[in-house]
Amino acid sequence: MISTTEQLEILSVPAGTNTTQTTQIDIRCGDSVRQLLELPNNSVHLCVTSPPYYKLRTYGGVQWDFENTARQLYRVLAPGGVVCWVVGDGVEDGSESLTTCKQKIFFREQAGFRIHDTMIYAKTNFAHPETARYHQVFEYVFVLSKGAPRVFNPIKDRPNVYAGKVGSYGINTFTRPDGSKGVRPRKINAEFGMRHNVWTGKTRGQEEGCNKLPHPAMMPQWLARDLILSWSSPGDTVIDPFAGSCTTGIEAEKLGRKAICIEINPGYCKSIDRDLCHDRTITSSAHIAAAL
């Protein structure tokens, strides 16, 4: 088990060498619920995270509290804030665990979130060959919101089959509130349209090639980047309560956002310190210790 002293470590890291940005990555080593309790109400604009799910409730030898994490995320989110919860089901005794379904219901019925969308992250490779079912190549991305989302920047990189052509043929009519009919003008299709909600892309292992990954379940950089682009604006604060290798924080910083990354495993915290800011050290946080 991880000691209380180790869980109370915190690291604040100013942004990288890009002098055009004034963002900051705040890396906190500790339990997600305890660290979230340190944050003010309505202080975060976006959460992009992938919680541990194959062992359901354990991570690095410690327990994590899904229900209170969900409630605290709702509290710290600003009105219109969004959570992108990337998750998949484990298999127990030959059956899917249904953990993701239960989490989705809890987010809506107990924590207060809207289920704004259920996206799919479709992988171009699978981790483990299957013999009794088809190879597993997708994860859910639950897009949860605190009220109506305050920001949506749709990514438009899907090639239109009918680019340059009239979008509809004949007369495109619609019904007004009073029951009368109106006619919409016909438009020329643009070269690219908005994406669908099934995103296909590389796994982190494919992104990194032959490099040894410092974490067993790293989020693809492109996925974190595109979720941050879609649901936040420059200057916003982005949080990841299960930071792992700090992918969300790194991508947020690149895009001109501030980031708060919480990680319960001191080994991963020290790995972040070593790999991302080797000239700094993790120091204790007295104010967090006093609050417990």
Mind listing the domains of the chain with CATH numbers?
Answer: 40-155+195-261 (3.40.50.150), 157-194 (no CATH)
Is it the case that residue 233 has pLDDT exceeding 90?
yes
Mean predicted confidence (pLDDT) in 43-67? 77
Which range, 31-35, 184-188, 284-288, has the best average confidence (pLDDT)? 31-35
Is it the case that residue 282 has pLDDT exceeding 60?
no
Q: Which residues contact 170 (CB under 8 A, 6 or more apart)?
A: none
d(C-alpha 146, C-alpha 45), whole Å: 10
CB 251 within 8 A of CB 24: no
Is it the case that residue 240 has pLDDT exceeding 60?
yes
What is the pLDDT at residue 184?
81
Is it the case that residue 65 has pLDDT exceeding 60?
yes
Q: Which residue has the tokens 């609050």?
A: 291
d(C-alpha 168, C-alpha 171), whole Å: 8
186: pLDDT confidence band, cut at 50, 70 and 90? confident
Is it the case that residue 236 has pLDDT exceeding 70?
yes
Instruction: Tell me, letter by letter, the H, E, C secondary structure of the chain.
Output: CCCHHHHCEEEEEECCCCCCCCCEEEEEECCHHHHHHCCCCCCEEEEEECCCCCCCCEECCEECCHHHHHHHHHHHEEEEEEEEEEECCCEECCEECCHHHHHHHHHHHHHCCEEEEEEEEEECCCCCCCCCCCCCCEEEEEEEECCCCCCCCCCCCEECCCCCCECCCCCEEEECCCCCEEEECCCECCCEECCCCEEEECCHHHHHCCCCCCCCCCCCHHHHHHHHHHHCCCCCEEEECCCCCCHHHHHHHHCCCEEEEEECCHHHHHHHHHHHCCCCCCEECHHHHHHC
Q: Which carries the bigger pLDDT value, residue 113 or residue 278?
A: 113
What is the pLDDT at residue 209?
66
Mean pLDDT, the chain, integer? 81
18: pLDDT confidence band, cut at 50, 70 and 90? very low
Structure tokens at 263: 């990680």
214: pLDDT confidence band, cut at 50, 70 and 90? low
d(C-alpha 52, C-alpha 64), whole Å: 9
CB 72 within 8 A of CB 83: no
pTM given for the model = 0.79
d(C-alpha 99, C-alpha 155), whole Å: 30
17: pLDDT confidence band, cut at 50, 70 and 90? very low
Is it the case that residue 23 has pLDDT exceeding 50?
no
Q: How many CB atoms lie within 10 A of CB 132?
A: 6
Residue 155's identity, in one-letter code, is I
What is the pLDDT at residue 289?
31
What is the pLDDT at residue 286?
30
Q: Which of 79-83, 227-231, 276-280 has the lowest mean pLDDT?
A: 276-280
What is the pLDDT at residue 203?
82
Q: Which residue has the tokens 């009519």?
A: 173
Mean predicted confidence (pLDDT) in 79-106? 92
CA-CA-CA-CA torsion sign (208, 212, 215, 217): positive
Question: 136 — alpha (psi -120 to 50), left (phi > 0) or beta?
Answer: beta
